[in-house]
Structure formats: structure tokens, C-alpha cells
Structure 1
Amino acid sequence: MTTVSTHVLPAEAHLGLRAALSDHAVMAGRSLRLTRRNTETLVMAVLLPLLQMALFVYVFGGAISGRAAYVDYVVPGIVLLCAGYGAATTAVSVAADATSGMVDRLRSMPVRSTAVLTGHVVASVVRNAVSTAVVVVAAVLMGFRPDATPAEWLATAAVVLLYVLALSWLAAFLGVLASGVESAGGMSFVMLFLPYLSSAFVPPETLPAALRTIAEHQPITPVIETVRGLLTGTPIGPAAWQAVAWCTGLLVLCVTAAGWAHHRRGRS
């Protein structure tokens, strides 16, 4: 009896990897072009954090702890808040593709349909890189004076990148689950709300007992404390490994969940 080998040859595996990378690169380019055309979304992702930073620094800064000291305290929180705004738009973009028939058209083509999720995540990372750079420059103009070394700046960029990736994949998962664009916008609200219940704007010990418990035990606080410590030299303690653990765990969970939800939606 003749047996048929089912082993994948190295050359075939290499071609499969090249095709997968090509699909993801094409979808990433598409999402970046959509971002470039949708300038209102990019402007709002930058403008809202800038307005909030100006509000907290110039309106509340003097009353809280002095403007010069408070700007150094609040900027790390504003950077992560900016990342939340940028990532939240990913849910809307994914939902728009899912409800407009774009994903269904991809399923009829020799293209990995999950590449559309990767494309939106890559666009989210690029948007956040631009908006974060603008926020940091504006913060310096407002009096922010970080004393980080080049190595600490690189470590800060790595932590923020990991945080943005985790939030972007969470947003992609919510976008797949959403029944429409409006629903996706509402579901991503939690990403915009959590930083307010953290150490972003005031130390947790100044909050009421219930809110203090939430602020001290939610995932965004260690990320903020790590970024703040790297940029301004405040003690980091266990916040660094907690931040990496939270972001890595969320990233793995959301990549898996987004892929599962995407395939499940395609079968329904």
C-alpha cells in the first residue's frame, strides 16, 4: 500500500511564512493609509491628552503640589492616557471592517483574514508613537524636566510599546465582539476610564479607601509608576516586574482571544 507523506518540506514552510508576512504587511499598509486619510482621529488622539495635560498642569497644578513639581508627576500618566485614546480607535476600525463586509471579502481571497487585525494593531502603534512624541515635546515646553539616561529612555519606550500592544490587541478583540461601530466605541470606554482610577493624577494614598484599593491593585498603576521612575528618578520597587507581567499577560490573552473571536465570527 502506498502511503502519502504529510510532512511539510522546509521550502514549503518558508513559502508559507513569506506569504503570512506579506499578508500582514499589506494589511498594515492599508491601515496606515486609512489612518493618514482619517486625520480627525489622529488629531483628536493627540489633542485630547494635550488639553487634559494643560488642564491639570495650569488649572490644578498650583493647588495640588505646585506647578513645577506636578508637571513631572502627571506627564507619565498623560502619556499612558494618550496611548489609551490611540488604542481605543482600533476597536472602532476593526468593527467598521467587520460590519462593512471587508473581512468577508478577505475570506474569499487567498489572504489570511486575521492579518486585518494585525494591520490595525500596527497602525495603532504608529499612531501612538506620533502622539506620544507630540505629548512629550509639549510637556517639555510646559516645564517637564526628565533626568532619564539614554538607557532609561529606551526602557521607557519598551514599557510604553508593550502597554500599547496589549491595549491595541484588547481593542481589536472588543472590535471583533462588537455588533457595530457605536458598540465598539462604547466597549473601549474602559481603556479611557481606568487611568483616572490609578496613580496617574494623584498619589493613591490621597484617595478614599475604596478608590485607593482599586488604584493600588489595577494594572495601569505599576505601568505608570515604572514610566515615572524611569523618567524622573522616583522609586520603582516591584512596579517594574508587575508592569511587564500585567502587559505581557494581557497581550498574550488578547491576541489569543482576538484570533479565536475572529475565526468564530467567520463561521457564524
Structure 2
Amino acid sequence: MTTVTIPPTAGARPLADTLTMLHRNLLRAARYPGLTSFTVAVPIALLLLFVFIFGGAFGAGVAPGVAPGAEGRAAYLDYITPTILLFALVGAAQSAAISAAMDATSGIMARFRTMAISPGSVLGGPVLGTMIQGFVAATVVLGLAAALGYRPQPGALGWLATAGLFALVVFAMTWLCVAMGLAATSVETASNTPMLLTALPFLGSGFVPVETMPAGVRWFAEYQPFTPIIETTRALLTGAPVDTSTMLQALGWCILIASLGYVWSRSLYRRERR
């Protein structure tokens, strides 16, 4: 049996290697514009669909006293925009699963393991690249929402807190999606598995208040990860007081998901190395 010697990584430069992998990830995003544009196109389509088709009726349900029609659409735009911004972040994370699967199935990641390169950079660089893409997608969606009449009200600290929450959300979801991509047997599987994450906002407070749901569905909606994240985002963007318990739940879920995704990803990477 032939023994393959793995070069030591003692001489590797973690920061430089991570920046190299980040640059590679951004180049891939530029070379595959279809995948990158999909990250933006889906949340934009959802925003336009729900505001202009359903918003006139749904707005009267989310904002008591609002009349159906144009007034309802304006109210629903305010309600749904935070959800769509999170969709943009999750969509970017989904692209990380596809990239990880492409590297794993094509043998590129196996080649990286034989090189004197920091192991953490192979996964960490793409995570940082995905975070950048997620913020770009969210910025485009926010710009469109503003053009439609959305007017967020946070002060400087509110914007800073919102950016911090978004960074934590996309960081957590990206690590989870990277693990899904490494665990997938094909690129097609990797592109489909993270779509389960996009179903959670529909089963939470993303599109309608949880108070309007049947008891069993309402229980799930209240205790799943996206509901406290969405509610915290809404409060931050409207400048309303943030419920401490809800914010702690949002942060707790993000930390838990990030930890799970990181440990799972590193475990899969090391297992492949044997």
C-alpha cells in the first residue's frame, strides 16, 4: 500500500493563505455570474411578488387599521423587507455549499490538502468571500426596497447593530452550508439541501405574524431560529426598542448554528484527509 506524505503546515501563513482563498472565492463569483446573480435575483423576485401581488391584502393583516390596496402594500413593504434581506444572506450562504461541493467533487480540495497551506484557510477564505457577497446582495435588496418606498429609521447605532447581526447571520449560515456542501455526494445535492433553510422564514414570522397561525404551527414558528432573528431585524430597522429576550435568542441561535457548521465542516475536511 502506497503511503502519501502530507507536507507539514507549520510553514503555512494562516492570514496570507486565508486572503488567497478569499481572493479565489471572489474570482469564482466573478467567473460564474449566473450563480452570483441568482443570489440577488431570488430575493428581488420575492420582494416584488409579495409586495405588488399579495401586499395590498396582507398589509391590512400585519398593520391593523390599514386599508387594503396601496396603503396595505406600503405597510407590507415595511413588514417584509427585513425578511427579504435575510433571504439574500441565506442565498449567499447557499452558494457556499455549491462552491464547497465543486471543490470536493473535482479533487481540488484534495490537492489543497497535499500543499503547505493553512487548513483553516481552505474553508475560512470562502466563508469570508460569501459574507461579502451576502452584504452586497442585501445592499441591492435594500436599495430596491428604498426605491419602492421603504424608509428604515435606525440611528447610527441601529445601523451598526443591524450590520453586526447580518454579519453573524451570514457567518453562521455559511458555515452550515459549507458543511452541507462537503457532505453532499454531488453539486446538485449541495444546491438543493440548503434550500431547507429558505423554508424556515415561511414557517415563522417572516411573512405573517405568528399570532395568526394555528396552535401547533405557531409553537414551531415561535421557537425556530429565524423568528427571533427576523423580529430583532425589524426592531432595529424601524428604530423601535429591541426586546432583550428576542435579541438574545437571535444571537444564541446564530452562535449555535455557526458552531455546529464549523465543527461539522472541519470534521468532514479532516475525514477526507485520511
State the TM-score, normalized to the length of structure 1.
0.90
Q: Give secondary structure in 1 for the equivalent of 2:80.
A: helix
Quick check: 2:12–2:116 contact (8 Å CA) kept in 1?
A: no
Distance 2:237 2:10 in 1: 43
Tell me whether 1:214 sits opposite 2:220 in the alignment: yes
Tell me whether 1:98 sits opposite 2:92 in the alignment: no
Aligned-partner residue type, residue 268 of structure 2:
A
- What whole-Å deviation, never above 9, does each CA across 1:189-236 have from its counterpart, x for those lacking one? 211211111111110111222221111110111010001001113453
Tell me whether 1:189 sits opposite 2:195 in the alignment: yes
> Structure 1 residues 78 and 120, CA, compared in 2 at 3 Å: closer, same or farther?
same
Tell me whether 1:200 sits opposite 2:206 in the alignment: yes
Quick check: 1:91–1:188 contact (8 Å CA) kept in 2?
A: yes
Q: CA deviation at 1:186?
A: 2.1
**Partner residue, 2:49:** 55
Q: Runs of 4 or more off by more than 6 Å in structure 1?
A: none
- What whole-Å deviation, never above 9, does each CA across 1:101-130 have from its counterpart, x for those lacking one? 101111221113442211221111011111
Q: How does 1:81-230 map to 2 (within 5 A)?
A: 81-230=87-236
Unaligned runs of 5+ in 2: 1-8, 61-71
Distance 1:158 1:16 in 2: 33
Tell me whether 1:245 sits opposite 2:252 in the alignment: yes
Match of 2:29 among 15, 23, 35: 35
Quick check: 2:158–2:239 contact (8 Å CA) kept in 1?
A: no
CA RMSD of aligned residues (A): 1.5
Quick check: 1:103–1:113 contact (8 Å CA) kept in 2?
A: no
State the TM-score, normalized to the length of structure 2.
0.88
Q: CA deviation at 1:92?
A: 0.8
Distance 2:22 2:11 in 1: 16
Aligned-partner residue type, residue 63 of structure 1:
A
Q: CA deviation at 1:82?
A: 1.2
Tell me whether 1:256 sits opposite 2:256 in the alignment: no
Mean Cα deviation higher: 218-227 or 184-193: 184-193
Distance 1:20 1:69 in 2: 48
Corresponding residue pairs, total: 253
Aligned-partner residue type, residue 55 of structure 1:
L
- What whole-Å deviation, never above 9, does each CA across 1:69-98 have from its counterpart, x for those lacking one? 111110001111111111111111101100
Aligned-partner residue type, residue 21 of structure 1:
L
